[in-house]
Amino acid sequence: MTRRIGLLVDDMFFVSKIAGAAERAGSKIERIKSLADLDRLATDPPALVIIDLNSDRLDPVQTIEALKSRPELSSIPVVGFVSHVQVDLIRRAEAAGCDHVAPRSRFTQLLSEIVSGNLESLR
């Protein structure tokens, strides 16, 4: 069975980069484009959700709160990435339930490990 990763990322460069790393790790991505997509994820939860905390499409903090408030999705690890200077956004994401927040550069550096499920490297 292929490991699935939910993905809320607008930047197509990052989508391609994450999709490539996921494919090499034997995983596939499923894009999250609206809060309604959480209903689809709830029927067959992914192993991981990755969120660009600078997403313009959806409010990332609201999406994290919605994800973590649903019992069938609440245990899914959520990894967010953002510019390291956005301290307020990092704190809001963590308060909403984001399990790991990484600066964009570190996220990119650890991407292969993250999509493989090795989240210990983010600690």
For the chain, domain boundaries? 3-117
Residue 105, exposed/middle/buried by CB under 10 A (0-12, 13-18, 19+)? exposed
Q: What is the pLDDT of residue 81?
A: 97
CATH number corresponding to 3-117: 3.40.50.2300
Q: How high does pLDDT run on average in the chain?
A: 94
Q: Taking the model in full, what pTM does it have?
A: 0.96
pLDDT in tens, 11-59: 999 999 999 999 999 999 999 999 999 999 999 999 999 999 999 989 9
Binning pLDDT at 50, 70 and 90, where does residue 1 land? low
2, pLDDT greater than 90 = no
- Report pLDDT digits (tens) over 75-109: 999 999 999 899 999 999 999 999 999 999 999 99
